[in-house]
Amino acid sequence: MQHYQEQQRRRPPQHQPQQPGREHDMWPEPIFIREDYIGSDKLKDKVALITGGDSGIGRAVALHFAREGADSLLVYLGEHEDARETQRLVLSEGRRCELLAGDVGDPEFCAEAVAQAVKHYGRLDVLVNNAAEQHEQTEFTDISFEQVERTFKTNFFAYFALAKAALPHLGGGGAIVNTTSITAYRGSSHLIDYSATKGAIVAFTRSLAKAVADKGIRVNGVAPGPIWTPLIPATFPKDKVEQFGGNTPMGRAGQPAECAPAYVFLASADGSYMTGQILHPNGGSLSKPEAETRRAQKPRPIASGLGFRLDLLKQFWSCVGIDCLQ
């Protein structure tokens, strides 16, 4: 924990002019696994296909899966140096790792990625849909339809295409883990199209989970944020990158190493009774300090009669997250 906090304090302003971002150009580099993380064969001899597997959360998931005994095929767009480093790390854990470069926005490539995983390993047990892109726009009217279409192709249509291709191979006990985001729940005024894709992933996860439950396949999601990954310096200006994550209740951005165990849980037998669910490693960012403020204020009477106070009832529903008295 102290190491994570120290990294937040010493992160300098930085920006990368291209997407996807590159992990080897970040400083400090993200922490992808704790030194004291001990695997226990939770994914012994399983095979996973991980998109966006070259860096960030994808790299952390690949390495945690390897330490738990899984082999993997990592899909990435074009960050060859990052991908080779992730492959080296997985191989150092004594597990196999194949790389496949391509655009998940192309449904034919998605089908090919699944076919390659099955060809290399003879099976597929886990699909981790993780690849994403985002493009900050401070004005809604500046968002082009081309940007919206591109963001949906990468962030949502690819998840659909990969799941469709993978389902015939997963079989009973298989698992799909989709990466959504805190923005699906909180929204973002400067990442509107990105947030929309992440909301779609939540609905997709819950719906697909119901559709395939009778096949013994579980579908869950992880909604991280804010996490220090290459997506951040590739999206935001230098000043925002320097302060990224500082406004969370924990006062810092999270690390990929703090997200990956959630994927292990959902992919393994530990999560055997979990489907259609979303886990939230976000440093407490979904807590509602404004609700605390409302509770501290003196209630203002809205209606009275027979001792009934509508304002108190409204505050109660607000505190439990139901806004039905507007």
| Cα torsion 224, 184, 287, 290: sign | positive
Residue for token pair 């407490």: 284
Tokens of residue 202, six digits: 């939540």
Contact 47, 126 (CB under 8 A): yes
Active site residues: 194
Assess contact for 16 and 227: CB atoms under 8 A. Answer: no
* Separation of alpha carbons 136 and 124, rounded Å: 35
How many residues are recorded in the chain? 326
Report yes or no: 277 and 314 within 8 Å, Cβ to Cβ: no
Phi and psi at residue 68, to the nearest 5°:
-95, 5
What tokens appear for 304 in the block?
């009275």
Helices (H), the chain: 2-9, 56-67, 80-92, 107-121, 145-152, 158-170, 183-186, 192-212, 238-243, 256-267, 289-296, 310-319
d(CA 135, CA 143): 9
The rounded distance, in Å, linking the Cα atoms of 22 and 19 is 8
Closest CA to 224 of 265, 258, 268: 258
CA atoms of 170 and 174, how far apart (whole Å) = 5
